Amino acid sequence: MHFDILTLFPAMFAGPLDESIIKRARERGLISIDIHNIRDYSTDRHHTTDDYPFGGGRGMVMKPEPIFATVEAVLAEHAAPPPDWPRQRAYVPPGSAVVLLTPQGRLLTQGVAGELSQMQHLILVCGRYEGVDERVRLHLATHEISIGDYVLTGGELPAMVLLDCVTRLVPGVLPSETPVEESHYAGLLEYPQYTRPAEFLGWSVPEILLSGHHAAVARWRRCQSLLRTLLRRPELLERADLTAKDQRQLERLRDALENGQTPCE
Ligand code: ADE
């Protein structure tokens, strides 16, 4: 999978993309990343990339021309448009997506990351200042993504979050058994994890995890997963992948909590 990242601050990406799992995925050729400075595609003498908003108001808005020019340069390396393609529209071939990072976008969830991981090529456009000229959204972006309901100073950190989250879903990046049980996979939060020592500062690991009884461990973990989700993120339960057994378990958990009992023991 190939990522092109378009930004006014390329230096922000040094570090996070050169460590750990992302670094190894790059070295093994599972993903590749190119960073492009939008300013390099601005054609005026001062390499302007922003301007005052029409109609007045606060702050500066990122100009459309340098963003369109950068995306077009990147796309030109990947696929030629069909002969009848209208000149004013960037040709985004199947398997590629132009993703604008914006707090107005679709919320990035594990499901959205899963969809994006099916693409071969993601072009991530990082907005800055007070916003990006609306024509980028209307006529260039194929996706708009937000990483949460808060506003950051720009799309660079969101682009890194998206890249990280999508990369770990690319086949071969993680050991094959990893993702199925972790938080958000079946729409539930993950169960508590422990490692050695079995006792630390007087706090011991739940007995069942030391029992070697795999079926009982699996039951305890499922119960904990349901309990955690019920206590911390109950709204996730509405869309989670639950069996009839899970539903019954949830009922028991609700009863136990109401009666002040400790569930999942
Ligand atoms: N740019 C600024 N804030 C953002 C957010 N929450 N998600 C995506 N892009 C952003």
- Give the angle 209-211-213 at the CA atoms, nearest 5°: 95
Note whether 54 and 162 are same-domain residues.
yes
Going by alpha carbons, the residue nearest to atom 4 of ligand 1 is: 103
Q: Which contacts (CB < 8 Å, 24+ apart) does range 18-23 have?
A: 21/167, 21/168, 21/173, 21/174, 22/163, 22/164, 22/167
Per-residue pLDDT at 89 exceeds 90: no
CA gyration radius for the chain?
Answer: 23
Note whether 120 and 190 are same-domain residues.
no
pLDDT band for 117, please (50, 70, 90 cuts). Answer: very high
Residue 61: inside a domain:
yes
Note whether 215 and 158 are same-domain residues.
no
Residue 173: inside a domain:
no
Ligand 1 in reach of 151 Cβ (< 6 A) = yes
Tokens 């990483």 correspond to what residue? 147
Note whether 158 and 195 are same-domain residues.
no
Tell me the residue range of the domain where 48 lies.
2-167
Going by alpha carbons, the residue nearest to atom 6 of ligand 1 is: 103
Ligand 1 in reach of 153 Cβ (< 6 A) = no
> CA nearest 98: which of 68, 53, 54?
68
pLDDT at 185: 76
Pick the last residue of a domain from 167, 196, 227. 167
Per-residue pLDDT at 11 exceeds 90: yes
What is the Cα 124 distance to its own chain's centre?
Answer: 12
Number of domains forming the structure of the chain:
2
Ligand 1 in reach of 103 Cβ (< 6 A) = yes
**Percent of the chain clearing pLDDT 70 (strictly above):** 98
Ligand 1 in reach of 155 Cβ (< 6 A) = yes
Going by alpha carbons, the residue nearest to atom 10 of ligand 1 is: 102
- Pocket test residue of 112, 137, 144, 147 for ligand 1, highest count of atoms within 8 A of CB: 147
> Which helix (H) or strand (E) is 37 found in, with range?
strand 32-37
Q: Across residues 243-252, what is the average pLDDT? A: 96
- Give the angle 111-107-144 at the CA atoms, nearest 5°: 105
Rounded Cα distance, 157 and 154, in Å? 7
Note whether 125 and 24 are same-domain residues.
yes
pLDDT at 176: 80
Q: Across residues 78-100, what is the average pLDDT? A: 90
First to last CA, the chain: 44
Decide: pTM greater than 0.75.
Answer: yes
Name which residue leads in pLDDT, 128 or 204.
204
At 20-69, the pLDDT tens digits run 999 999 999 999 999 999 999 999 999 999 999 999 999 999 999 999 99
Note whether 147 and 208 are same-domain residues.
no
Ligand 1 in reach of 225 Cβ (< 6 A) = no
At 166-217, the pLDDT tens digits run 999 999 999 886 555 677 778 999 999 999 999 999 999 999 999 999 999 9
- Pocket test residue of 9, 102, 145 for ligand 1, highest count of atoms within 8 A of CB: 102
Asked whether 113 and 166 are in contact (CB, 8 A), the reply is yes
Residue 181: inside a domain:
no
